[in-house]
Chain A
Amino acid sequence: MSSAKRTAKDALLEFKVSGRQLALTAGGSWTADRAGDLERLVDAALKRARDAAAVDINMARVERLDTYGAWLLERLVRGFAAAGREARVVDLPERYRDLVGEAGRINLGKVAAARQGRLATAIAAIRRTAFGIGRDFVMIVQMLGALAIAGMRCVIRPWTFRFTSMVHHLDRVGWRATPIILLITFVLGCIIAQQGIFHFRRFGIEIYVVDMVGILVLREMGVVMVAMMVAGRSGSAYTAELGSMKMREEIDALRTMGFDPLKILILPRVVALVIALPILTFIGSMAALFGAALVSWAYAGIGPEIFLSRLRDAIELDDFVVGMVKAPFIALIIGIVACVEGLNVKGSAESLGLHTTASVVKSIFLVIVIDGLFAVFFAAIGM
């Protein structure tokens, strides 16, 4: 900061009223650094000028002027003009003429977006969300249809199916997911059994914990837990991959080369998921039962043989089938949601993040909805 600037600090804009004539004297540096102070002075000057008929703005003592200063001068002039006063800018140094002229040509238009009332904003938000849900549903159905067609084509001409790609994705979403799924379902089985034992003990019927764990894990918990894990682990990865490919125009590039992105990118991914999820569900359920058996042994003294024989009595094949039948459908919905969200990514990094989050949240939500629908369905057919 130079000393000149310091001394000029209080003299950015001075007022002098003589009769009905208002004289403004500008000075110092009308620059970005002082723009905040200057704006207040300009607004104050506009208020002061109510009674004045004519206004002179003397710019001779301005030491520096940049776009900020030029714009505020223009705002001053426009403000007076809007109030029906004539403002003259006098003694503007030659070197600032261009800039001030440039500022005079600025057409602000509508500067800030019109602010709506709170109620209107809320209604607009609800409307947007409702339409969003509707659009999501339509897109999921569209994707399902498109996948069905692509799948049919591959059935007719099997050699067009991207088998290698599918195996690659199967490795990623199936094989590599196995350890974490085993661990989590195992721990979950332990926890359910332990809680069950504590509660059943009060009635002296600890053995029924086997029934509870067996039915719970095989019918519901196994598939739902694994599906949530897969949605978080693999669904999000699908969305992020497809989204970044979309951002870099890779998907457009595929299309221009005559390839169908649906067939090349999406079908192998979804098929891999549909194969992987039942397998993961099966091993996950087994891990949960194993955990439950260990805990029953440790806490309630129910040995492995008793556990197994009780399990055989408690569950039927139907329970197992009910769990497993759901798995491919749930996989399909996770895959479709992930791919739809991926393809909806717009150009920005923020959009990629938003859609990845949306992909996981929507898949988990739909997993539970579908699980509920299946429960209603199986109850109706008596399974």
Chain B
Amino acid sequence: MAVLGNEAVIGVRDLVVGFGETVVLDRVSLDVLRGEILGCVGASGGGKSVLMRTIIGLLPRRAGRIAVFGADLDGLSEQGLRAIERRWGVLFQQGALFSSLTARQNVQFPMREHLRLSRRLMDEIAVAKLEMVGLSPDVRDKYPSELSGGMVKRVALARALALDPDIVFLDEPTSGLDPIGAGEFDLLIKTLQQTLGLTVFMVTHDLDSLHSVCDRIAVLADRKVITVGPIAAMLASDHPWVKAYFRGKRSRAIDAAEIA
């Protein structure tokens, strides 16, 4: 697999996150290793997105520590935090493209803010990124409202990759795509991960994605990470929730295909 080493680029220890009375994540610990694609699954509303948003600093945590590239986020100065943020890219569930900018301008936005590049180079790199995510040239100067759902996701991925991050967070990258589009997107993520040497943290519900691209899978249930491991371990697991998820009715087809 593409796992290059065992070094953890993200280390989450005893993380507690809650809103008001409810505790969404209770003492969660999880490592994301360099160069792997980690899929995070769990019930709807089970805290997958919350975990992701807490790691990237969008949600406050009640307790616990998060270390990224070996640096504890609590101990970092504002500047240190910016430097780390520059090294990750985030693909939001709805794309979160800036609606008043074209596809190309959306991809250029982070470059404009973080790097000092000539206009020509920014244009070229933006086009290169859009090409890499498989968008045709006529999409480049369109606004998000003129794009289909799949294209929006691709542009958003190109924007997440704009600064050549080391880590990419993907929040349900294939939701809302048809199976063919979702399959292509999976392949794209895998290819990009291999060519760019990315570490990918992916929140997903898509069993196909989990089977085809994820190196390891973390299962969130009962406010905890109940198990982490490759797909084979998931299929062999005895935990009722994991069993129901990976060996339920909807996963039969994939199972059968894999056995055959």
- The answer to whether A and B interact is yes
Interface residues of A (CB under 8 A from B): 31-33, 35-36, 39, 66-68, 71-72, 75, 95, 98-99, 102-103, 105-113, 346-351
- Kindly supply a per-residue 1/0 record for chain B positions 78-120, scoring 1 wherever the CB is within 8 Å of any chain A CB and 0 otherwise: 0000000000000000000001100000000001001111111
Q: Please provide the 9 A-B residue pairs with the shortest distance between their CB atoms, ordered closest to farther.
A: A347-B145, A348-B99, A350-B100, A66-B164, A98-B195, A109-B137, A111-B123, A99-B195, A106-B128
Cβ of B156 under 8 Å from chain A: no
A19 to chain B, nearest CB (A): 32
Q: Is the CB of B132 within 8 A of A102?
A: yes
Cβ of B47 under 8 Å from chain A: no
List chain A residues, Cβ under 8 A from B118: 36, 39
Q: Is the CB of A95 within 8 A of B143?
A: no
A311 to chain B, nearest CB (A): 53
B39 to chain A, nearest CB (A): 23
CB contact under 8 A between A348 and B128, given known A35-B117, A36-B118, A99-B196: no
**Can you list 28 pairs linking A and B with CB atoms under 8 Å apart?**
A32-B111, A32-B114, A32-B115, A33-B115, A67-B125, A67-B128, A67-B129, A67-B132, A67-B161, A68-B125, A68-B164, A71-B128, A75-B124, A102-B132, A102-B195, A103-B128, A106-B127, A106-B128, A106-B131, A106-B132, A107-B131, A108-B124, A111-B120, A111-B124, A346-B145, A347-B99, A349-B99, A350-B99
Residue of B nearest to A103 (CB): B128
Cβ of B141 under 8 Å from chain A: yes
Chain A binding surface SS class? helix
List chain B residues, Cβ under 8 A from A66: 164, 196
Residue of A nearest to B163 (CB): A32
Q: Is the CB of A32 within 8 A of B164?
A: yes
List chain A residues, Cβ under 8 A from B163: 32
Cβ of B197 under 8 Å from chain A: yes
B97 to chain A, nearest CB (A): 10
Q: Is the CB of B128 within 8 A of A36?
A: no
List chain A residues, Cβ under 8 A from B197: 95
A345 to chain B, nearest CB (A): 10
Cβ of B237 under 8 Å from chain A: no
Q: Is the CB of A67 within 8 A of B131?
A: no
B186 to chain A, nearest CB (A): 18
Residue of B nearest to A72 (CB): B121
List chain A residues, Cβ under 8 A from B121: 35-36, 39, 68, 72
List chain A residues, Cβ under 8 A from B141: 113
Q: Is the CB of A36 within 8 A of B100?
A: no
List chain B residues, Cβ under 8 A from A348: 99-100, 143-145
C-alpha spacing A282/B163, complex, angstroms: 62
C-alpha spacing A110/B194, complex, angstroms: 29
CB contact under 8 A between A347 and B129, given known A35-B115, A71-B124: no
C-alpha spacing A156/B164, complex, angstroms: 65
B46 to chain A, nearest CB (A): 28
C-alpha spacing A71/B121, complex, angstroms: 9
Interface residues on B, range: 20 to 34
Residue of A nearest to B195 (CB): A98
C-alpha spacing A349/B114, complex, angstroms: 25
Residue of A nearest to B146 (CB): A347
CB contact under 8 A between A36 and B115, given known A67-B125, A108-B127: yes
Most B CB contacts (10 A, CB to CB) among A35, A39, A71, A108 go to A35
List chain B residues, Cβ under 8 A from A103: 128
C-alpha spacing A292/B243, complex, angstroms: 83
Residue of B nearest to A66 (CB): B164
CB contact under 8 A between A347 and B100, given known A36-B118, A71-B125, A112-B123: no
C-alpha spacing A346/B120, complex, angstroms: 30
B77 to chain A, nearest CB (A): 15
B40 to chain A, nearest CB (A): 26
Most A CB contacts (10 A, CB to CB) among B163, B194, B195 go to B195
List chain B residues, Cβ under 8 A from A111: 120, 123-124, 127
Docked complex: B129-176 residues within 8 A CB-CB of A: 129, 131-132, 137, 141, 143-146, 161, 163-164
C-alpha spacing A99/B119, complex, angstroms: 23
A82 to chain B, nearest CB (A): 14
B88 to chain A, nearest CB (A): 13
Residue of B nearest to A102 (CB): B195
B192 to chain A, nearest CB (A): 9
List chain A residues, Cβ under 8 A from B132: 67, 102, 106
List chain A residues, Cβ under 8 A from B123: 111-112
C-alpha spacing A68/B195, complex, angstroms: 13
List chain B residues, Cβ under 8 A from A113: 141
List chain B residues, Cβ under 8 A from A102: 132, 195
C-alpha spacing A68/B115, complex, angstroms: 11
List chain B residues, Cβ under 8 A from A71: 124-125, 128
B156 to chain A, nearest CB (A): 15
Most A CB contacts (10 A, CB to CB) among B99, B111, B128, B143 go to B128
Q: Is the CB of B164 within 8 A of A36?
A: no
List chain B residues, Cβ under 8 A from A39: 117-118, 121
List chain B residues, Cβ under 8 A from A68: 121, 125, 164
B200 to chain A, nearest CB (A): 16
C-alpha spacing A99/B127, complex, angstroms: 15
**A-B contact sample (10 more), CB < 8 A, given A67-B129, A99-B195, A347-B146:** A32-B164, A35-B115, A36-B116, A67-B128, A103-B128, A108-B124, A108-B127, A111-B123, A348-B100, A351-B100
C-alpha spacing A242/B99, complex, angstroms: 18
Q: Is the CB of A98 within 8 A of B194?
A: yes
A134 to chain B, nearest CB (A): 24
C-alpha spacing A358/B111, complex, angstroms: 33
Residue of B nearest to A111 (CB): B123
B138 to chain A, nearest CB (A): 9
List chain A residues, Cβ under 8 A from B119: 112
